[in-house]
Structure 1
Amino acid sequence: MKPVDPTVAYPRRCELAAELRGLRDLAGVSGRVLAQRIGVSQSKVSRIENGSTVPSLPEVEAWSRELGLPDDIQRRLTSMTKAAHTEAHPWRTELAGKGHLQNDVLHQECQAHKVRVFQTSVVPGLLQTPDYARHVFRLLRVPMSEADHAAAVAARMDRQIEMYEDNRTYEFLITEAALRWRPDTGKMLAVQLDRIAHLSTLGNVTVGVIPLRARATTVLTHGFALYTRDDLHEATVETVHARVEVRGREEVEAYDNRWALLTQMALFDSEAGDFLGELAAEYRAMD
């Protein structure tokens, strides 16, 4: 997997990192001393300054206070921190020279110890069969060559290999509408539903299905993904025009709360398996 260039993938985060590092150097304060003053580990200061971790707003405020920065610089850092917590990456620039983004997504998944995905319109990429993925990429109407389409499908399948490792958990919530979306024949969709049922048997994978008959506990808006590790908790939303990464504590908590409400509507374990089996049988009978 080719390493992701953070200056390209996370420009706002890296600008903030460079600014914080430069201000600390100008103040003549070591990373170790600053870490002690603001109550974080020295390693976290290093991660903040190399752009691998986005600091919280309270951490940046403490950083500014301990360095004795003037008010105008503190205000600028506050603005930069808020911007770094929500970065939008337009598809037209994201895909330029890449063909597809599957390796970028894999990098994001491999950083986390828990991956959670909610989908309202299509089967999540990590659960797709090659045929289903091929149709999804074509129906997105994103300008891609035939070679890029094939590479995207292959890379999406490579992402699924990580699911067979037990050092990471995966949770999925999928609406019935997404399961019924039919990009090709009923037979193809039945095979896709079988694939979901198979992957749900892995010990580190949980699949929840939200049937149309479920009594609503919240609204079904857009899909999103949540990534969690010790010092990382972020959400990713794919819109028509861009991929949006959200890292602000309050903003990510909103997605956590929505996830909790969605789980109350979902079927799990044998109930989810029965639902998938019945739906697959329905689609096999169509063709």
Structure 2
Amino acid sequence: MSTDFQQGRRNLGARLRELRTEAGLTGKQLAARLGWQPSKVSRLENGRQTATVADLEAWANALEATGVLSELKGRLRGLETAYRSWKRHLAAGHRAVQEASALREAQTKTIHVFESGIIPGLFQTPEYARGVLADVSDRIGSPRDIEAGVRARMQRQEVLYRPGRHFHALIWEGALHVARCAPEAMAAQLDRLCGVIGLDTVTLGVIPFGVRTHFSPKHGFWIMDERLVVVETWNAELWLDSTDDVALYRRIWNLMAASAIYEHKAHRLITRARDQFTRP
């Protein structure tokens, strides 16, 4: 979880505490009005739990302070912009998330990508994407609109063929060997990845096993036009837009790019990985 998110949640909690004390109520008294356990009031005020819109509405109504509700909701929106738990993010299904990603990518001219354990979504085949989204749905407990999500992900890939776009992608070699679908589908996915190398809009590098590096492949990230970094973790998607954060991730990406191989060397490495999925 990002430090900015934690600080923002603490700031919101401090504001909720301020409103309660101004109303002359103790935490226990407010909890009784709300029908909550006192521990929930404490967690919200101390920034240990993220409030929902319903929580904020109940808080403001209980304190007869509905005039500050728009302010509180604005603070919460700021938190949700930076930190989106997958459970909330996927509440409306995979299609909605893919369509939101497509809109963000359509508004971006240059994307720098690093993935350590998965083929980037813009390069995925339908079978591979189906396996990935099904795994996410099982893990998060999100709606299983898998086919709608796959179709939307395939539509996202149209941006690869638009002039004036540039996609600089780096993949850790391990991602080529992680089977997210049946062997024949994995072979087809790696064929697709080889085909991507020939696109005018794409520069694809693979970071081989055993190469000397100055970094650890902790997690994947996407840098959008040098203004936003999108980081996916197990439980959430983080949006980092501070100048320092963007600059740090770009420096890391540059270090990774220096360790990668490209063009025919990358093609040979991908082909060797493909062969393991076609052996009898």
Q: Identify the TM-score tier after normalising by the shorter chain.
A: 0.5 to 0.7
The equivalent of 2:238 in structure 1 is 244
- Moved >3 Å (runs of 4+): 83-86
Structure-2 change in CA distance of 1:97 and 1:218 (3 Å) = closer
**Distance in 2 between residues matched to 1:221 and 1:242, nearest whole Å:** 15
Larger radius of gyration: 2
The equivalent of 1:106 in structure 2 is 102
The equivalent of 2:116 in structure 1 is 120
Structure-2 change in CA distance of 1:262 and 1:99 (3 Å) = closer
Is the partner of 1:235 in helix, strand or coil?
strand
Query: TM-score, normalized by length of structure 1?
Result: 0.66
> What are the superposed Cα offsets for residues 132-159 of structure 1, whole Å, 9 maximum, x if unpaired?
000011112233444x111100000000
Deviation, 1:265, is 1.1
The equivalent of 1:35 in structure 2 is none
Unaligned runs of 5+ in 2: 1-7, 9-74
Count the aligned residue pairs.
203
The 10-residue stretch of structure 1 (111-120 or 89-98) with the greater mean CA deviation from structure 2: 89-98
The 10-residue stretch of structure 1 (110-119 or 91-100) with the greater mean CA deviation from structure 2: 91-100
Instruction: Answer whether contact 2:91 2:142 (CA < 8 A) is retained.
Output: no
Query: TM-score, normalized by length of structure 2?
Result: 0.68
The answer as to 2:198 corresponding to 1:201 is: yes
Root mean square deviation of aligned Cα: 2.1
Structure-2 change in CA distance of 1:243 and 1:194 (3 Å) = same
Unaligned runs of 5+ in 1: 1-11, 13-79
Deviation, 1:85, is 11
Instruction: Answer whether contact 2:117 2:178 (CA < 8 A) is retained.
Output: yes
**Distance in 2 between residues matched to 1:108 and 1:205, nearest whole Å:** 18
> What are the superposed Cα offsets for residues 82-104 of structure 1, whole Å, 9 maximum, x if unpaired?
x6797101122222234440011
Alignment of 1:26-105 (within 5 A): 87-100=82-95, 101-105=97-101
The equivalent of 1:259 in structure 2 is 253
**Distance in 2 between residues matched to 1:133 and 1:97, nearest whole Å:** 18
Deviation, 1:185, is 2.8
The answer as to 2:141 corresponding to 1:143 is: yes
Partner residue of 2:160 out of 151, 160, 163: 163
**Distance in 2 between residues matched to 1:106 and 1:112, nearest whole Å:** 10
Is the partner of 2:230 in helix, strand or coil?
strand
Identity in percent:
30
Is the partner of 1:189 in helix, strand or coil?
helix
The answer as to 2:218 corresponding to 1:224 is: no
Is the partner of 1:254 in helix, strand or coil?
helix
**Distance in 2 between residues matched to 1:263 and 1:99, nearest whole Å:** 31
